[in-house]
Amino acid sequence: MESNNAEIHDAGTQKQLRKIADLPGPKGLPVIGNSLQVKRHILHQKFESWAKEYGDFYRVQIGSRKLLVVADHQAFAKVLRDRPEGFNRTIRLAETWRDMGLQVGLFGANGEVWKRQRRMVMAGFDPAHVKDYFPSLCKVAGRLESRWTKSLGTDINLQADLMRFTVDTITGLAFGHDVNTLESGDNVIQNHLDKIFPAVFKRNLSMFKYWNYFRLPSDRALDRAVAEVKVAIDGFIIKARERIRQQPELREKPTNLLEAMINAADQGDSGLTDTDVAGNVLTMLLAGEDTTANSIAWLLALLWKNQDVLQRLRQEVLTHFDKTTPYTIERLGELDYMDACINESMRLKPVAPFLPLQATRDTVIDDIHVPESTIVFGLFRSDSLNDECIPDAAKFDPERWMARPDEVAQSINSVKRVSMPFGAGPRICPGRYLALLEMKIALTMLFTRFEIENIGTPDGQEAQEFMAFTMAPLGLTMRLALRK
Reported as a single tens digit per residue, the pLDDT across 382-437 is 999 999 999 999 999 999 998 665 554 555 668 888 999 888 888 888 888 889 99
Reported as a single tens digit per residue, the pLDDT across 140-176 is 999 999 999 999 999 999 998 998 899 888 888 777 7
d(CA 429, CA 118): 10
Residue 179 φ/ψ, nearest 5 degrees: -80, -25
Confidence at residue 408, expressed as pLDDT on a 0 to 100 scale: 47
Kindly report which listed range (81-85, 146-150, 193-197, 212-216) carries the lowest average pLDDT score.
193-197
Please list, in sequence order, all residues whose beta carbon lies within 8 angstroms of the beta carbon of residue 481, skipping any fewer than 6 positions away.
152, 153, 450, 451, 453
C-beta separation of 393 from 418 below 8 A:
no
**Region 342-346: what's the mean pLDDT?**
97
Strands of the sheet with 8-9, listed across from one edge: 8-9, 16-19, 368-370, 363-365
Q: How confident is the model at residue 108 (pLDDT cuts 50, 70, 90)?
A: confident
Q: Where are the beta strands (DSSP E) in 26-161?
A: 57-62, 65-70, 87-89, 156-157
**Mean of pLDDT over the chain:** 87
- Using the predicted structure, report yes or no on whether residue 120 has a pLDDT greater than 70: no
- Using the predicted structure, report yes or no on whether residue 111 has a pLDDT greater than 80: no
Long-range contacts of 444-447 (CB under 8 A, 24+ apart): 444/317, 444/321, 444/327, 444/332, 444/335, 444/338, 445/141, 445/142, 445/144, 445/145, 446/148, 447/313, 447/314, 447/317, 447/318, 447/321
The CA-based angle 102-288-81, given to 5 degrees, is 85
Q: DSSP letter string over 348-411?
A: HS-SS-EEEEEESS-EEETTEEE-TT-EEEEESSTGGG-TTTSTTTTS--GGGGS--TTTTTHH
Residue 457: CA count within 13 A, CB half-sphere? 16
Does the N-terminal peptide bond of residue 84 adopt cis geometry, omega within 30 degrees of 0? Answer: yes
